[in-house]
Structure 1
Amino acid sequence: MKRLLWCAVLLLILPLGACTQKEPALGKGKVQVVTTIFPLYDFARVVGGDRVEVVLLLPPGVEPHSFEPTPEDMVRISRAGLFVYTNPYMEPWVAGLLKGIDRQRLTVVDASAGVSYLPAAGEDNGHDVNEGGHHHGGMDPHVWLSIPNARKMVENIAAALGTKDPTNAAFYRQNAAVYEQKLTELDRKFQVGLGNCRTRRFLHGGHYAFGYLADHYGLQYVSAYAISADAEPRPRKLVEMIALMRSSGTRYIFYEELISPRVAETIARETGATLLRLNGVHNLSRDELQGGATYLSLMEQNLVNLRTGLQCR
């Protein structure tokens, strides 16, 4: 964080043009939006349409839990009209960063305003711990994996765009309303698709990312380690998960995007289970981004894999 504050001082001292020579030309008349993680980027693109230009702060393939912005990122944010972040638990660096940026023209949006939070689960998936990586302050930051929360985040982005660009406020509201209907339909697909399954428990060889999804659909969720993607599972936890899989006859173990699947692979070798991917939708690989993946398409694939893993009919 000291590095960030030092860079902020430089931004205040140096002429802005000297810092931004390599920045691409911006579309005239469009609201410039910078977002932190992929869901916000996707929501802003859909709501803003051709009236906005949206930049994803995370480079493709970067896991966001340990991310901190570079000086170039700070310049990019300072030049935007709108900066959208997930919440203070997901991006605790935002508060420090904003101290070094001129807020007169920049509108800052906490996309999670008004969402329903769940407590952060620890190693045993039942209590809060803060080990390694970012401090989450006792709340689970993965709010976008609850579709009702995602709807609220879309509303927040649409409202912020309307305030920033009142001329097009109705356009943003209409786009948000159409997209919220798609989210409602996706929610219905999950409710129906997960309604008749052999088991309601799924095991994940990664960090505790899917608590909101499990809570909303009445599923039991066990992860190998806690909220921080930088944490490491303790041997006792792996032994417990292997024993649980054997005793329950669970045939699948999930892993997640952008994080090594070695823990899930270890459990799979010990139990004969099959690996399935469950996407936390934090960020995309370069190929996925270029291929047009969206929040909706990734969540649809999650439903397919959950139905397989839970042996749904």
Structure 2
Amino acid sequence: MRRWLIAVVALAALLAVLAGCRREGPRSGGAHGISVVTTIFPLYDFARAVAGGKAEVTMLLPPGVEPHGFEPRPDDIVRINKADVFVYTNRALEPWADDLVRGADRSRLIVVDASRGTQLLPVPAGEGGGDSHRYDEASMDPHVWLDFANAQVMVDNIATALATKDPANRGYYLANAAAYKGKLAELDQQYRRGLANCAKRTFIAGGHFAFGYLAHRYGLHYEAAYAVSADAEPTPAKLAELITLIRRDGLHYIYTEEMIDPRTAETIARETGAKVLRLNAAHTVSRDDLARGVTFLSLMERNLASLREGLQCR
């Protein structure tokens, strides 16, 4: 894939140069401000909150596309090369990002690793992470936005990039970022209050290992049917382990994820009598949800209600 990316980056850079006089996206100083391209939904929503009406923010992944196995197309690379700011999550989730921007004009394009400065967690051994004491991209849990303190750092990283690219509106971006971080801090307090008095402290998901940050922040025990990659498959041994855990701990619910085949969760539910509830890791949203104006905050509020039901909170 690396050779393919290098070749496509070179082609994309050439196309961007040829298209230089015909760029359709809003540019710095234009009527709609600067152009920001983000990869996944949380970054898109954070950037929209920070940018307000001063920038055009777009999302690289189409609605409903699972990001773990995403590979950019040539026209995606052209979009990034024509943007003012490109925001990606981290190398663990988007290993193609560094290669993709290598041929870009970095004197013009600001590239933001949104996870810079966040508190990273290794993937536990047995969940696809290998040695749990290593913190390279092969062993890091990429779902950093599900710790809301990390999400605040990501918002700051985005705001800094927009303020650097468009210094005339620096105060506007920083004020928007501060307001949105306040909402994230309040969400964090809602989770702390809402999950403080629960009959159960363990939750199980029949999908990939996506909720480790959330569980860690609120002192919960979390098990998933398969590894970090959504393309992984659960093993019979892992399914048997989860069934035993549900029966041993008297759990009454199992979770399934957005955009993930629910059959694993449904199979475990049939074996144990558990009910299936939904959690959303917010990697992506459906086209209908996007049209309805769903936000990261509203998805996380739904998650809290679902966790409170599954953990039997008072």
Matched, 1:58 2:81: no
Give the Å deviation of 1:8.
1.9
- Deviations along 1:201-233, one digit per CA (max 9) or x if unpaired, are 001111110000000000000111111111111
Q: In the alignment, what sits opposite 1:83? A: 86
Cα distance in 2 for residues equivalent to 1:207 and 1:257: 11
Give the Å deviation of 1:52.
0.5
User: Helix, strand or coil for the counterpart of 1:108?
Assistant: strand
AA aligned opposite 1:170: G
Give the Å deviation of 1:19.
9.7
Closer, same or farther: CA 249–97 of 1 in aligned 2, 3 Å: same
Q: In the alignment, what sits opposite 1:303? A: 304
AA aligned opposite 1:144: W
- Deviations along 1:263-296, one digit per CA (max 9) or x if unpaired, are 1111011111111111001011000111101010
Closer, same or farther: CA 75–38 of 1 in aligned 2, 3 Å: same
Q: In the alignment, what sits opposite 1:73? A: 76
Q: Give TM-score scaled by structure 2 length.
A: 0.93
Q: Which runs of 5+ in 1 are unaligned?
A: none
Cα pair 2:16 2:82 within 8 Å, conserved: no
Closer, same or farther: CA 270–101 of 1 in aligned 2, 3 Å: same
Cα distance in 1 for residues equivalent to 2:15 and 2:290: 34
Matched, 1:46 2:41: no
Closer, same or farther: CA 256–24 of 1 in aligned 2, 3 Å: farther
When the two chains are superposed, the root-mean-square deviation of aligned CA atoms in Å is: 1.9
Cα distance in 2 for residues equivalent to 1:14 and 1:57: 18
Q: In the alignment, what sits opposite 1:26? A: 26
Cα pair 2:42 2:145 within 8 Å, conserved: yes
Q: In the alignment, what sits opposite 2:295? A: 294
Q: In the alignment, what sits opposite 2:190? A: 189
- Deviations along 1:46-79, one digit per CA (max 9) or x if unpaired, are 0010001001000010000000110000000000
Cα pair 2:13 2:78 within 8 Å, conserved: no
Give the Å deviation of 1:102.
2.2
Cα pair 2:25 2:82 within 8 Å, conserved: no
Q: In the alignment, what sits opposite 1:4? A: 5
- Deviations along 1:8-34, one digit per CA (max 9) or x if unpaired, are 22234446456997x855372411000
Cα pair 1:38 1:281 within 8 Å, conserved: yes
Q: Give TM-score scaled by structure 1 length.
A: 0.93
Closer, same or farther: CA 166–15 of 1 in aligned 2, 3 Å: closer
Cα distance in 2 for residues equivalent to 1:115 and 1:250: 33
Cα pair 1:120 1:136 within 8 Å, conserved: no
Give the Å deviation of 1:100.
2.5
AA aligned opposite 2:166: D
Please give the residue correspondences for 1:191-230 in structure 2 after superposition, counting only pairs within 5 Å: 191-230=192-231
Q: Which runs of 5+ in 2 are unaligned?
A: none
Q: In the alignment, what sits opposite 2:257? A: 256
Q: In the alignment, what sits opposite 2:173? A: 172
- Deviations along 1:140-187, one digit per CA (max 9) or x if unpaired, are 100000000001111111111111111100001110111111111111
Give the Å deviation of 1:3.
2.5
Please give the residue correspondences for 1:89-108 in structure 2 after superposition, counting only pairs within 5 Å: 89-108=92-111
User: Helix, strand or coil for the counterpart of 1:148?
Assistant: helix
Matched, 1:121 2:140: no
AA aligned opposite 1:69: P
Cα pair 2:64 2:285 within 8 Å, conserved: yes
Q: In the alignment, what sits opposite 1:240? A: 241
Aligned length: 306
